[in-house]
């Protein structure tokens, strides 16, 4: 199979779909790889590194999309890329379609087979291709909060960990999954006071054991959320419903409960955000203020550390890339977890949560693949 790797064009996105090491592995397995010139610049991998790994260099994205049987990316395709996708072509990348009807309609019109990293599952029902970027985003969330709390950034002028004799910041994390766990690790390591809210009691027990009492765990309810928001200096939104729009847990009215200059870091912004007042921002203009509360809602947080992120992502995605390259769409028939990643196939939505979010009919993946 000919695998295509275009350069990412989303603003301040420096990751790459395949690293030179992953290209080498694909070549060893008998596949050809076409990489757009400059695609690896953000991770310090020049065209020569890709040629040494066995890739062919394409002069532009149009050449990659025109020739590739499968396109491997990181971020969701942008409008110019939708137009280059074609019937029968496989697209393997993050999609986050639920809050993005324009992209969904673009993929439907293209006729491609679009497989989303974020809905692929493993044998335990976990999300193995979302996990590495959730780990990165969870850790960055606390770094971002620390910056946003500074007075020159519009925050209240508070140091996350405090100093001897001065109380630390209070960090409230909504959601105890991968993002929430990693955010808690960072916040605890910096000396902040940390509370994690989650509706799953087994998850709260796991977190309590993991942190050995260094974080508070609270069962999620409206009353608990309001109480914690009122005490929070930082709120990390880490609630996730796989493939669906994030639940709007923080209302506009809730901001009145919070201390002025407090910070919301909405890591769920890729899925629409878990605060009503959240809207996507970029790395060069990451924050804005609503009712005295600073919002950080960068939609591609791991893109800020592309060398770490690209390697971590490739560690997880490469086995699936090889499965698709080796077997084509037959890989979706034999691997139910990979099939769970199928969101769009030849003009039809194939993921229930995406169809529900967009008000579009969805179809059983096995039926449309037959």
Residues carrying an active site annotation = 96, 270
Per-residue buried b or exposed e for 331-358, using 16+ beta carbons within 10 Å of the residue's own CB: bbeebebbbbbbbbbeebbbbebbbebb
- In sequence order, what DSSP letters do the residues of 139-172 get, joined into one string? HHHHHHHHHHTSGGGTS----TT-BTTBPPPEEE
Q: Could you identify the residue written with the tokens 């008998």?
A: 30
Long-range contacts from 57-60, C-beta under 8 angstroms, 24+ separation: 58/4, 58/34, 60/36
Let me know: does 177 contact 202? Beta carbons within 8 Å.
no
Let me know: does 179 contact 138? Beta carbons within 8 Å.
yes
Three-state DSSP class for residue 244: coil
* Distant-in-sequence, close-in-space partners of 253: CB < 8 Å, separation ≥ 6: none
Kindly give the interhelix angle for 178-189 and 131-148, rounded to the nearest 10 degrees.
Answer: 40
Q: Is 300 exposed, middle or buried (0-12, 13-18, 19+ CB in 10 A)?
A: buried
Let me know: does 303 contact 15? Beta carbons within 8 Å.
yes
Q: How far apart are CA 119 and CA 129, in angstroms?
A: 8
Question: What does each C-alpha distance from 358 to 101, 103, 243, 300 come to in angstroms?
Answer: 6, 11, 12, 22
Let me know: does 267 contact 138? Beta carbons within 8 Å.
yes
Q: How far apart are CA 186 and CA 141, in angstroms?
A: 9
């Amino acid at each position: 199979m000919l695998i295509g790797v275009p350069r990412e064009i989303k603003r301040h996105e420096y990751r790459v779909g395949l690293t030179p090491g992953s290209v080498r592995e694909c070549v060893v397995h008998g596949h050809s790889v076409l990489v757009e010139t400059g695609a690896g610049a953000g991770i310090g991998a020049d065209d020569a590194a890709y040629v040494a790994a066995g890739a062919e260099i394409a002069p532009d994205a149009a050449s990659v999309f025109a020739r590739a049987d499968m396109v491997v990316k990181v971020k969701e395709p942008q409008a110019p890329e939708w137009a280059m996708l074609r019937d029968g072509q496989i697209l393997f990348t993050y999609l986050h379609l639920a809050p993005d009807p324009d992209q969904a309609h673009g993929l439907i019109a293209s006729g491609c087979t679009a497989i989303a990293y974020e809905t692929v599952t493993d044998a335990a029902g976990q999300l193995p291709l979302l996990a590495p970027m959730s780990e990165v985003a969870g850790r960055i969330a606390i770094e971002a909060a620390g910056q946003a709390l500074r007075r020159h950034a519009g925050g209240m002028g508070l140091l996350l960990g405090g100093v001897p004799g001065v109380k630390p910041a209070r960090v409230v994390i909504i959601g105890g999954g991968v993002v929430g766990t990693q955010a808690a690790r960072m916040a605890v390591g910096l000396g902040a006071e940390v509370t994690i809210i989650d509706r799953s009691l087994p998850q709260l027990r796991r977190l309590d054991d993991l942190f050995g009492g260094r974080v508070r765990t609270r069962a999620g309810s409206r009353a608990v959320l309001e109480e914690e928001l009122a005490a929070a200096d930082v709120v990390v939104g880490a609630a996730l419903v796989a493939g669906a729009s994030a639940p709007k847990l923080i209302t506009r009215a809730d901001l009145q409960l919070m201390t002025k200059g407090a910070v919301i870091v909405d890591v769920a912004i890729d899925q629409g955000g878990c605060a009503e007042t959240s809207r996507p921002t970029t790395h060069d203009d990451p924050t804005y203020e609503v009712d005295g509360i600073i919002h950080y809602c960068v939609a591609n947080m791991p893109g800020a550390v592309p060398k770490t992120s690209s390697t971590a992502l490739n560690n997880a995605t490469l086995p699936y890339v090889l499965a698709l390259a080796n077997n084509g769409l037959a890989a979706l028939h034999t691997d139910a977890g990979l099939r769970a990643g199928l969101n769009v196939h030849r003009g039809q939505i194939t993921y229930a949560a995406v169809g529900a979010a967009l008000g579009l009919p969805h179809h059983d993946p096995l039926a449309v693949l037959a």
